[in-house]
Structures are given as structure tokens and as C-alpha cells.
Chains A and B, each alone.
Chain A
Amino acid sequence: MMGARGLLTVAAAALVSLGLMTTPVKAAGPAVEIPSQNWSFAGIFGTFDRGELQRGFQVYKEVCAGCHSLDYIAFRNLADLGFNELEIKAIAAEYEVQDGPNDEGEMFARPGLPADRFPAPFANDNAARASNGGALPPDLSLMVDARPNGANYLYALMTGYGDAPSGVTVAEGMSYNAYFPGHQIAMPAPIAADGVEYADGTAATVDQQARDVTAFLAWAAEPNLEERKRTGVMAVLFLLVMTGLLYASKRKIWADVH
């Protein structure tokens, strides 16, 4: 009979396939292994560390925002980081957003409101390219989801700059990076030691800044992560109990057939 042996074979085949499928498809060239970091938001019970998110936000604001937009985050979303309403209003007011047209028919700039999203550093892609030697700094809202093994990859990328190994020539205007596909990246090393002065006094090493900004971007890609995992624990526990009860019901009803 097919029974348990067949079921196990199918399950094993499915798991093998899933494992193979979720292996990231690599670009041409030898595969670079990305080291795994410990992230507070990983795992079934993962949560964000508010201090880490706030430091990461500071790094984004002071280091990244000059070139990279964060289109899908609104100032009001920063409440997740622990800011209160007044702080958010103040942060929003530091930015200028486009509004209009006014009664004269012209577009104008006004201070940001909590409901506004982060304004982009460049008016459009062409302007961004013109300011960056032809390269387009991508939006960062979803970057952690848009790369295989996103959080670990971003951290590795931030800390992966260095001198090219002997025999490798780096093209003009590019930088060598151990983890970027092709190893030549248009973005120069963005993070410098002590480039940021953390409000909470943490030492701003390159490693620290990279870790913090990666955590911030993980939050930006999925602000609902904590709710998702919390709800998931309750849902799976509920379903396990209910399935157990249904199994007992099934056995009772089938008792006279077996």
C-alpha cells in the first residue's frame, strides 16, 4: 500500500525541492558565501530592537538619504521606532515636501507633515543618475526583501569594502566590494568609522553602523514583522489544538468502521 512510506517519500521530495528552490539563484561567477549575522528580528519570536532602529534611522538620515530615497515610509510610521507624536511632527517639519498647485497655479514647497512620505533626494531617475556619474542609487524601502538573504547581504555589503586582491583591476569610478555581484560597485564605501555621532552614545564603528542601518532597513521593508510573528504563534498553536481535537473526533466517529 502507498501509506506512510509513500507519504514520507513525497514529503522528503517536497522538502528537498523547497530547499533547492529557496537557494538563491546566483549571478555568473563563483558563488560568494554571505556570512550569517544574529538579528533580533530573526526567528519565530523575532522582534525589532528599538534602540537599534533609532540608531539605524540616524545612519540612514545622515549617510544614505543624500542619494537613496525611502519612498514607502511615511513620517507617521516612525512611531514604530518609539518616537511620540510631537517628535514625529518635528522630524517631519525638518523636511520640505512638494505641494500645490496654489491659487496662482504654481507648485510650492512646504514643511513636512506626519502624513507625508519621505521626500526623495532627486526629482527623478535621470536627475539621480546625473548626480551620481550615471549610476542610479536604488530606493531602499524594500532592499532587504529585494536581495536573496537580504539582511545578511546588506550587512556584508556595507562592511565588504576593501582593496582589490592582486590581479583584479578596478574600473575608474568603481570600488571593490567582496560581496557585490561582480565585485565592482559604483557606490563608494558609504560608512566611515565615527561618521555619525549616535544620540545614545554608542560607539559608531563601521560594524555598528552597518548593523544598525540594516536593522532599520529590515524594519522599513516590513514594519508589520512583529505583528506577523506574534499572530503566527497564536494561529499555529490554535490550529495545532484544533487539529488535535478534530483527530479525536475522527477516531471516535470511525471507531465502528475500523
Chain B
Amino acid sequence: MSGPNFSNPVVRWIDHRLPVFTFMHHEMHEYPTPKNLNYWWNFGSLAGIVLVIMLLTGIILAMHYTPHVDFAFQSVERIMRDVNHGWLIRYIHANGASFFFIVVYIHIFRGLYYGSYKAPRELLWMLGVVILLLMMATAFMGYVLPWGQMSFWGATVITNLFSAIPGVGEWIVTLLWGGFSVDNPTLNRFFSLHYLLPFVIVGVVVLHIVALHRFGSNNPLGIDVRGKQDSIPFHPYYTVKDAFGLGVFLTIFAAVVFFMPNAMGHPDNYIPANPLVTPAHIVPEWYFLPFYAILRAVPDKLLGVLAMFAAIGVLFILPWLDRSPVRSATFRPLFKIFFWIFAANCVLLTYLGGKPAEGTYVILSRLATVYYFFHFLILLPGLSIFETPKPLPRSISQPVLGSGTAGASKENS
């Protein structure tokens, strides 16, 4: 395990004192990555890149934005109309938030399908859920900043939820608001925290990657890497594959930013906030809709809030709910079917979150909410016990080598 030899004397001088180059070499060239990763494994690096895009565009927007209720809306319009390329930076940031959630949701569903949350990657998974929570807080506060009708009323509805907490609820809400309703103090602190949290996310992402590198990536077969024949160096194989994936992502992202930049937004947010006029339907951004549906499905205010948070809480304890020793859905036929039903249920919850809380929508929301918790709390533990998985291949290389007997190569390559 001798370190790499660098020819450049400057590189050697730095590396001797601060081994960044050895570190990079290890992570890129030596770090063994399973050779059979499919394109669902691209979404982690995509999420990281979108985070960088959001940081860059966000810091730039903050150069032009004014976090005061009398000026916020017009400062955003100034960005759109007068700041050089301001419209582009704003649209990238607003749509980037949506794409960040698209990428992360796919990344999560990949984890669910292939059992990436199972031992020994439980902490990796939980760090990911922490990142999701931080993203949600950041996005919620960011949406308030333009101070449109949806900004104001979304903030009012969600902060009001905390009043459901018995005893201290009202006190907490007043503390959050800094006043008796969502107003300037609220806007100012949301701006400060919105600027702060992404850097906290960066920190947790670093921990997430350190945890990943402890045992390396999972793979579509869900079986461990057994030797050098099962893995390839991250560079150049996965660097180029990630670059290609990035190209596909950027093409789709550019198509949305340039040709349908307001499709995922709400027209009401182009109306300046008015505390005296409530919009006909208060709707959060699409990525919150499933949780919004769960919140509204429960008729009791406090229980609704608890159910909404429990929907994420249940993700935390997933490694202990699903105890099947088989990771990948490839070899779990029942689990596979229920995975797709669960995914469809999530899409349904998203749809219902955007509908008014009336009639059939209410009944469906309740059914979908019950099913959501049924999947995690009853189905998965049950499957762990009762499902008969398919036989696992002997190793990652074995399907490639083709033989069904113990033909896996024993040589050190």
C-alpha cells in the first residue's frame, strides 16, 4: 500500500505537508467501486453537483436581494429585469431547488429498491435522511424570500402548525415569528437561516461520503465485493459515467430553465404578499405535496403534524424495520412488487397534496396515508420474516463469467 509517486516537485512539497494529492489519488484511483453499478447510481454525484449550483446561484442572488418586506418582492423583480443575466440566475436557482428534490428522491428510491440502507450502511442512510430534512427546511425558507402570496401564506400555514404542540405551542410560534404574525422579523431570520443551512448540508454531505467510503458503494446485486475482480477504480470509469449522466441532467435542466421556467411554480407567487387576502388554494411547492397530503389527511391538528413528521421519522428507522438479509429487490420478488406499489402510492400522495381538501380527495388521502405507514411498519417487517428470496449469485463477477459453478477467479489481479 505504498503511496503514489508524483513527478511534479511542487505537488510533492505540498503533499508531504498536507496530503491532499495522496488523498485524491486514493479516492479516485485506488478506491474500489463495484463494476456492476447501473445508472441509478449516478444520482448521488448529481445531487452533489446540484448542491454546488444552488450555492453559487444563491450567493449571487444574495448580492442583489433585499430581505425586507417592503423591498423583497421588488428586489427580485430588479434581479429579473435589471441585473445582468439576473433572470437566468434566478430561474436556475428556483428550478434548481425542484431538480435537487427530483434527484434526491430518485437517489432515495434507489436506496429503497437495492437495500442500500441495510447493514453496514445504516448510518450512511440516516445521514442521508438528515440531509433530506435540512433540504426541506432550506427550501421552505427559501420560498418565503420572494415575499409573494404563496411565500407569505405558505409560511403562515406551516409555522402555525407548531401551535398544535400542547402547552408551549403558541409560545414557540411567537418565537419563530418574532412577532404576532409572519412579518419582517420572520423574513429576516428566514434569510439568515436560508443562507446558513446549505453550508450545514455540505458538512453532512461530507460525513455522508466518509460513511460511504468506509464500506464502499452497494451494487444492483446487493452482494458484497469479494475481491479485485469485482471492482474497478472510480477514475476513469465512474468519473466519465458521472460526467455523461451530468450531461443528460443538464440538458433536461436547461430545457426547463429556458423554455418552461415557471411550470413548477405557482402563479400566485407573482402577486406581492398581502396579509389581508388569502389565496383560493394554498399549495406548497410540489416536493412537499406528499407530506402536505399526509398532514391534511389526519383530522386532528396535532396528530396531523405528528403524522407528517413521522413520515420522515419512519425513514430513519428503516434499517431496523426491514431485516431481510437480502439487500436487492432483484432477488426479492414480493418486495419488488410492493416497492412499485409504494412508489405509485407516493405519486398519488403528491397528486392529492395539490388538490383541495374536499370530497373524494379526502378519502383517497387517508387511504394513501394509511398505506404509506402500513408499508413501512407492517409490510416490510412482515416480508423480512415471510418472504422467500431468490438464490443469490456467488459473486458480482460470476454472472459476467457466465459459469454457474465455483468458477470465480481466485487470482489476485
Contact = CB atoms under 8 A, between A and B. Distances in A.
A232 B281 contact: no
B241 A250 contact: yes
Contacts of B329: 2
B251 A239 contact: yes
A72 B267 contact: no
B80 interface: yes
B280 A25 contact: yes
Contacts of B330: 1-2
Nearest to A10: B106
Contacts of B122: none
B258 interface: yes
A25 B354 contact: yes
B254 A232 contact: yes
A183 B240 CA distance: 58
A13 interface: yes
Interface string A125-149: 0000000000000100110011110
Contacts of A257: 35, 232, 237
B88 A247 contact: no
B87 A145 contact: no
B193 interface: no
B240 A150 contact: no
Interface string B246-282: 0110110011011101111001101100000000110
Interface stretch (A14-22, A94-102, A165-173, A202-210): A14-22
B343 interface: yes
A148 B267 contact: yes
A242 to B, nearest CB: 6
A14 B88 CA distance: 25
Given A2-B220, A257-B232, A229 B259 contact: yes
Interface in A18-35: 18, 20-22, 24-25, 27-28
B270 A146 contact: yes
A236 B244 contact: no
Chain A's interface: helix, strand, loop or mixed, by majority?
Answer: helix
A21 B264 contact: yes
A243 B109 CA distance: 25
Interface stretch (B59-67, B155-163, B292-300, B344-352): B344-352
A13 to B, nearest CB: 5
Contacts of A246: 240, 243-244, 247
Q: Which of B80, B81, B255 has the most CB of A within 10 A?
A: B81
Contact of B267 (A27, A150, A235, A254): A150
Contacts of B106: 10
Contacts of A24: 267
B183 interface: no
A247 B39 CA distance: 13
Contacts of B344: 13
B392 to A, nearest CB: 14
Contacts of A1: 38, 220, 330
A9 interface: yes
B313 interface: no
B255 A236 contact: yes
Interface of A: 1-3, 6-7, 9-10, 13-14, 16-18, 20-22, 24-25, 27-28, 44, 71-72, 77, 138, 141-142, 145-148, 150, 181, 221-224, 228-229, 231-233, 235-236, 239-240, 242-243, 246-247, 249-250, 253-254, 257
**In the A-B complex, the 5 residue pairs with the closest CB atoms:** A232-B258, A243-B247, A146-B270, A246-B244, A239-B251
9 contacts: A2-B40, A181-B280, A232-B257, A232-B258, A235-B254, A243-B247, A243-B250, A246-B243, A246-B247
